[in-house]
Protein backbone atom coordinates (compact mmCIF):
# COMPACT_ATOMS: atom_id res chain seq x y z
CA UNK A 1 0.00 0.00 0.00
CA UNK A 2 1.32 3.43 -0.92
CA UNK A 3 0.59 6.59 1.06
CA UNK A 4 -1.36 8.98 -1.17
CA UNK A 5 -0.59 12.24 0.63
CA UNK A 6 -0.30 14.08 3.93
CA UNK A 7 -2.95 16.75 4.57
CA UNK A 8 -2.15 19.99 6.36
CA UNK A 9 -4.90 22.47 7.21
CA UNK A 10 -3.39 25.90 6.87
CA UNK A 11 -4.48 29.34 8.00
CA UNK A 12 -1.51 30.59 5.90
CA UNK A 13 -2.02 28.86 2.56
CA UNK A 14 0.12 31.13 0.38
CA UNK A 15 3.01 31.06 2.87
CA UNK A 16 2.67 27.27 3.09
CA UNK A 17 2.83 26.88 -0.70
CA UNK A 18 5.98 29.02 -0.76
CA UNK A 19 7.56 27.02 2.11
CA UNK A 20 6.96 23.62 0.53
CA UNK A 21 8.14 24.94 -2.86
CA UNK A 22 11.21 26.87 -1.71
CA UNK A 23 12.32 24.88 1.35
CA UNK A 24 11.10 21.31 0.69
CA UNK A 25 11.58 21.45 -3.10
CA UNK A 26 8.03 20.40 -4.00
CA UNK A 27 6.13 21.56 -7.06
CA UNK A 28 2.43 22.22 -7.48
CA UNK A 29 0.81 19.04 -8.76
CA UNK A 30 -2.79 20.30 -8.67
CA UNK A 31 -3.99 23.79 -7.78
CA UNK A 32 -7.65 24.07 -6.84
CA UNK A 33 -7.54 27.57 -5.36
CA UNK A 34 -10.67 29.47 -6.39
CA UNK A 35 -12.28 26.44 -8.06
CA UNK A 36 -14.70 25.46 -5.33
CA UNK A 37 -15.68 26.01 -1.75
CA UNK A 38 -12.20 25.07 -0.48
CA UNK A 39 -8.76 26.26 -1.56
CA UNK A 40 -6.61 23.14 -1.95
CA UNK A 41 -3.12 22.75 -3.36
CA UNK A 42 -1.44 19.37 -3.90
CA UNK A 43 2.35 19.56 -4.00
CA UNK A 44 4.76 16.74 -4.76
CA UNK A 45 8.30 15.94 -5.70
CA UNK A 46 9.06 15.58 -9.40
CA UNK A 47 8.21 11.86 -9.41
CA UNK A 48 4.94 12.34 -7.52
CA UNK A 49 6.12 9.97 -4.79
CA UNK A 50 5.98 12.54 -2.01
CA UNK A 51 2.71 14.45 -1.83
CA UNK A 52 1.43 17.12 0.54
CA UNK A 53 -2.15 18.41 0.39
CA UNK A 54 -2.49 21.95 1.71
CA UNK A 55 -6.01 23.07 2.58
CA UNK A 56 -6.54 26.77 3.18
CA UNK A 57 -8.76 27.06 6.19
CA UNK A 58 -8.80 30.06 8.51
CA UNK A 59 -11.14 28.23 10.89
CA UNK A 60 -9.19 24.95 11.11
CA UNK A 61 -5.46 25.70 11.07
CA UNK A 62 -3.03 22.90 11.87
CA UNK A 63 -3.02 22.32 15.61
CA UNK A 64 -1.53 18.85 15.97
CA UNK A 65 1.33 18.22 18.35
CA UNK A 66 3.78 15.38 18.21
CA UNK A 67 3.55 15.07 14.42
CA UNK A 68 6.32 15.85 11.98
CA UNK A 69 7.01 15.13 8.35
CA UNK A 70 10.46 14.36 7.02
CA UNK A 71 12.25 15.02 3.77
CA UNK A 72 15.44 13.27 2.75
CA UNK A 73 18.27 15.52 1.58
CA UNK A 74 21.74 14.65 0.27
CA UNK A 75 23.59 16.38 3.12
CA UNK A 76 21.63 17.51 6.18
CA UNK A 77 24.54 19.50 7.63
CA UNK A 78 25.00 21.44 4.41
CA UNK A 79 21.25 22.07 4.09
CA UNK A 80 21.09 23.13 7.76
CA UNK A 81 23.77 25.77 7.06
CA UNK A 82 21.98 26.93 3.91
CA UNK A 83 18.64 27.40 5.69
CA UNK A 84 20.35 29.13 8.63
CA UNK A 85 21.97 31.60 6.20
CA UNK A 86 18.52 32.22 4.68
CA UNK A 87 17.25 33.24 8.11
CA UNK A 88 15.29 30.10 8.96
CA UNK A 89 15.10 29.09 12.61
CA UNK A 90 16.45 25.56 12.76
CA UNK A 91 16.98 23.14 15.60
CA UNK A 92 20.54 22.07 16.31
CA UNK A 93 21.89 19.28 14.12
CA UNK A 94 21.18 15.84 15.59
CA UNK A 95 23.25 12.72 14.88
CA UNK A 96 21.56 9.73 16.55
CA UNK A 97 23.65 7.10 14.77
CA UNK A 98 26.72 6.97 12.55
CA UNK A 99 25.84 8.20 9.07
CA UNK A 100 22.51 9.77 10.11
CA UNK A 101 22.02 13.50 10.61
CA UNK A 102 18.89 15.59 10.82
CA UNK A 103 17.32 18.83 12.00
CA UNK A 104 13.90 20.44 12.12
CA UNK A 105 12.31 23.71 11.03
CA UNK A 106 8.71 24.79 11.45
CA UNK A 107 6.49 25.42 8.46
CA UNK A 108 4.23 28.52 8.46
CA UNK A 109 1.61 26.55 10.41
CA UNK A 110 3.96 25.44 13.17
CA UNK A 111 4.32 21.88 11.87
CA UNK A 112 7.74 20.30 12.53
CA UNK A 113 9.48 19.52 9.23
CA UNK A 114 12.56 17.32 9.38
CA UNK A 115 15.41 17.24 6.88
CA UNK A 116 17.46 14.05 7.18
CA UNK A 117 20.41 12.49 5.41
CA UNK A 118 21.71 8.96 5.74
CA UNK A 119 24.96 7.64 4.33
CA UNK A 120 24.61 4.15 3.00
Task: Give pLDDT tens digits for 79-120.
Answer: 999 999 999 999 999 999 999 999 999 999 889 999 999 986
Q: What is the pTM of this model?
A: 0.86
- Percentages (nearest 5) of helix, strand, coil residues in the chain: 15, 40, 45
Using one digit for the tens of pLDDT, what is the confidence trace for 7-62?
998 889 999 999 999 999 999 999 999 887 889 999 999 888 889 999 998 777 67
The dihedral formed by the CA atoms of 17, 23, 27 and 29, expressed in degrees to the nearest 10: -50
Residue 53's pLDDT is 94
Amino acid sequence: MKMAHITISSAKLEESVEFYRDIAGLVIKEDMRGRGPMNIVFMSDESGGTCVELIGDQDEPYSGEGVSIGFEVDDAEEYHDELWKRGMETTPMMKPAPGTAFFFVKDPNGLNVQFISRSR
